[in-house]
Amino acid sequence: MKYIFLNLKRFDVPVELGGVNRLAPVNEWAKTIVEGTQEGLKKYDPAKVEFVQFFPEAHILNAVAALCEASPVKVGCQSLYRADTAVGGNFGAFTSNRPASIAKAMGCGGVLIGHCEERNDKAGVLAEAGVVD
């Protein structure tokens, strides 16, 4: 199995604000990327290759909404909080990182955890939430 990961970290910032986004208005950016790539990726055998596009949190729902039926693209988020939520429990403050169960509920099929200490810290909660195997 081959894995193709596209980390779209901060590529949404428009040129006029110092970024590189010439693709689409910010509110349509994720939709434009998903719609512009998923049809072309259908030519690959899904048993041999997996595609995950990792979006900043603000764009996850638009990216998921743009997925077509039988899309070869999975949408991923770029980080998680180390503890997950629990029914009836205190789910704590997740100011900049969402819990794994929420990432899954938003439609994420993967998570990019960039630094080894984050991967080690969060591997158990990812598996428990069913975000990763």
Same domain as 47, residue 12: yes
* Domain final position from 74, 89, 112: 74
Q: What is the pLDDT of residue 91?
A: 61
Grade residue 56 by pLDDT with cuts at 50, 70 and 90.
confident
Percent of the chain with pLDDT over 70: 85
Q: Which helix (H) or strand (E) holds 81?
A: none
Grade residue 102 by pLDDT with cuts at 50, 70 and 90.
confident
Give the up-direction half-sphere exposure of residue 7: CA atoms within 13 A in the CB hemisphere: 7
Same domain as 83, residue 60: no
Same domain as 49, residue 22: yes
Give mean pLDDT, residues 10-23. 92
Q: What secondary structure letter does DSSP report for 21?
A: B
Select the more confidently predicted residue: 100 or 39: 39
Same domain as 92, residue 66: no
SS3 of 130, please? coil
* pLDDT above 80: residue 38: yes
Taking residue 96's Cβ as centre, other Cβ atoms within 10 Å add up to: 8
Select the more confidently predicted residue: 10 or 46: 46
Mean pLDDT (the chain, rounded):
85
* Domain final position from 74, 107, 122: 74
* Domain final position from 44, 74, 104: 74
Q: Strand pairing partners for 77? A: 55, 111
Q: Which helix (H) or strand (E) holds 76?
A: strand 73-77
Number of structural domains in the chain: 2
Same domain as 20, residue 64: yes
- C-beta separation of 121 from 84 below 8 A: no
Same domain as 61, residue 38: yes
Q: Choose among 4, 28, 2, 31: nearest CA to 14.
A: 28
- Residue 25 belongs to what domain range? 1-74
Same domain as 25, residue 39: yes
Same domain as 48, residue 6: yes
Task: Write down the residue that tokens 């743009």 correspond to.
Answer: 66
pTM: 0.77
* pLDDT above 60: residue 21: yes
Task: Round to whole Å and give the CA distance between 68 and 106.
Answer: 16
SS3 of 132, please? coil
Give mean pLDDT, residues 103-118. 76
Same domain as 123, residue 68: no
Grade residue 45 by pLDDT with cuts at 50, 70 and 90.
very high
Same domain as 3, residue 30: yes
* pLDDT above 70: residue 103: yes
Same domain as 99, residue 38: no
